[in-house]
Amino acid sequence: MTSMAALLALFLLAASAMSGGVQAQPLVPAVISFGDSTVDVGNNNYLPRAVFKANYAPYGQSFARHEPTGRFSDGKIVTDITADTLGFESYAPPYLSPQASGKNLLVGANFASAASSYHDDTAAMYDAITLTQQLEYYKEYQSKLAAVAGRAAARSILSGALYVVSTGTGDFLQNYYHNASLSRRYDVARYCGLLIGIFSDFADKLYKLGARRIGVTSMPPLGCLPASIRLYGEGHGGCVARLNRDAETFNRKLNATVEALKGRHADLKIAIFDIYTPLRKLADAPVEQGFANARGTCCRTGKAKTRVYLCNPTTAGTCRNASSYVFFDGVHPSEAANVFMAESMVEAGIELVT
Ligand SMILES: *[C@@H]1O[C@H](CO)[C@@H](O)[C@H](O)[C@H]1NC(C)=O
Ligand SMILES: *[C@@H]1O[C@H](CO)[C@@H](O)[C@H](O)[C@H]1NC(C)=O
Ligand SMILES: *[C@@H]1O[C@H](CO)[C@@H](O)[C@H](O)[C@H]1NC(C)=O
């Protein structure tokens, strides 16, 4: 199915969901997210020691109210766009925020934390919420939801919800590539195996806790992120082939593991949200997709090694038109690129919500 046909199918589904009653119903009751800055919607703002936060301009400049929320982009991130497509009128709140209470919990919760990763050690190095702790918060959320919705309704929300797991970039960029003790102990293939083992275990635990629809993002083309080109590039400004090969190794193993999870749990819908292919397409041929710049960052980043990832908090300065940039900062796509990626995920999405 082409992505246009897939979009149309999803639109028809949404329309038929709406024709039933007066109130439009989203296609799934809730969206529950785990992971890193690709899906963090503000949890790190509540962690005093967290190294990575997006709580300053120009983050959020084209989001609602044009204010920073903790999202690492100029506007919407992929899960926002997915929630829009599914028919939600509000986004699941960051779990650590005061908004994560009462009826707001009915549409889900977001446990993601920038600089978190599959490997808890990576998250701990940056004072982010480890994946293990995110799962603990999720268990706590289950009881809070039962208190708000009642036990039976909570169970059906939890089994109907779409679960998104989006993490792992930090295990490479913020750990493996500059951690000699790690790279001595594991070659890339074995390191990918270690991370995938953590994912597989996490998915099994989610399943045991009631999840039945899980979407996991693939590893992005690590070598095409502007920060990677700065730190590991060969000077010609092109994508770093070695890093992209590592991402492909990870993604092959992820594919096999997702197939294995399907085999183990007949009533589990699980799919890969492939972000590698669309981002690679944008990085290789931006103009064909309506972008002018795929190598630079829209906002001015810092120069120090640890600062090339994010917009510089002290020199606010952005490009004139974020929609013409694939990347907003050193690692995170612009809203326009997120829209492009979300469109290419519709097919996997349909597999999960129907
Ligand atoms: C290297 O990685 C290990 C395992 O993730 C971690 O415990 C350690 O702190 C890291 N060391 C450095 C110097 O980053
Ligand atoms: C794994 O790869 C095969 C071959 O490309 C593909 O048909 C299948 O859909 C992939 N599985 C997942 C879970 O993406
Ligand atoms: C911004 O860039 C996008 C994509 O290149 C383009 O479609 C749009 O017209 C531009 N907007 C302005 C105000 O220049």
Would you say residue 12 has pLDDT above 70? no
In angstroms, the Cα distances linking 65 to 44, 62, 74, 75, 346 are 20, 8, 12, 10, 27
**How does pLDDT run across 70-80, given as a tens digit for each residue?**
999 999 999 99
Q: How many residues appear in the chain?
A: 354
Considering the candidates 33, 37, 73, 117, report the single residue annotated as catalytic.
37
Mean pLDDT over 15-44 rounds to 83
Both tokens of 111, joined, read 């446990």
**How does pLDDT run across 72-128, given as a tens digit for each residue?**
999 999 999 999 999 999 999 999 999 999 999 999 999 999 999 999 999 999 999
258: enclosing H helix or E strand: helix 241-264
Would you say residue 16 has pLDDT above 70? no
Ligand nearest to the CA of 259: 2
57: enclosing H helix or E strand: none
Mean pLDDT over 221-239 rounds to 94
User: Whose CA is closest to 80, among 92, 66, 62, 69?
Assistant: 92
Residue 284: active-site member: no
Task: State the chain's mean pLDDT as an integer.
Answer: 93
User: Whose CA is closest to 342, among 83, 49, 47?
Assistant: 83
**How does pLDDT run across 162-220, given as a tens digit for each residue?**
999 999 999 999 999 999 999 999 999 999 999 999 999 999 999 999 999 999 999 99
For 20-36, b/e burial (b = at least 16 CB within 10 A) is: eeeeeebbbbbbbbbbb
Ligand nearest to the CA of 324: 3
Q: Give the nearest ligand 1 atom to 121 CA.
A: 5
Least confident segment among 11-20, 237-246, 299-308: 11-20
Would you say residue 20 has pLDDT above 60? no
- The helix/strand/coil state of 7 is helix
Using CB distances shorter than 6 Å, the residues near ligand 3 are 290-292, 321, 323-324
Would you say residue 4 has pLDDT above 90? no
pLDDT on residue 23: 55
Q: Which amino acid belongs to residue 125?
A: M
For 198-220, b/e burial (b = at least 16 CB within 10 A) is: bbbebbeebbeebbbbbbbbbbb
Share of the chain above pLDDT 90, in %: 86
* CA 333 to mean position of chain CA atoms: 11
**Gap between the Cα atoms of 100 and 84, Å rounded:** 19
pLDDT on residue 279: 98
Mean pLDDT over 333-341 rounds to 98
Q: Please write down the long-range contacts of 231-236, taking CB distance under 8 Å and 24 or more positions apart.
A: 231/177, 231/305, 231/308, 232/177
* CA 23 to mean position of chain CA atoms: 29
Residue 37: active-site member: yes
**How does pLDDT run across 247-290, given as a tens digit for each residue?**
999 999 999 999 999 999 999 999 999 999 999 999 999 999 99
Burial of residue 285 (number of CB atoms within 10 Å: 0-12, 13-18, 19+): exposed
Mutate to test the pocket of ligand 3, among 61, 282, 321 (most ligand atoms within 8 A of CB): 321
Would you say residue 236 has pLDDT above 90? no
Closest-CA residue, ligand 3 atom 5, reads 324
Q: 346 falls in which pLDDT band (50, 70, 90)?
A: confident
pLDDT on residue 224: 98
Residue 236: active-site member: no
Highest mean pLDDT among 7-11, 22-26, 73-77: 73-77
Would you say residue 246 has pLDDT above 90? yes
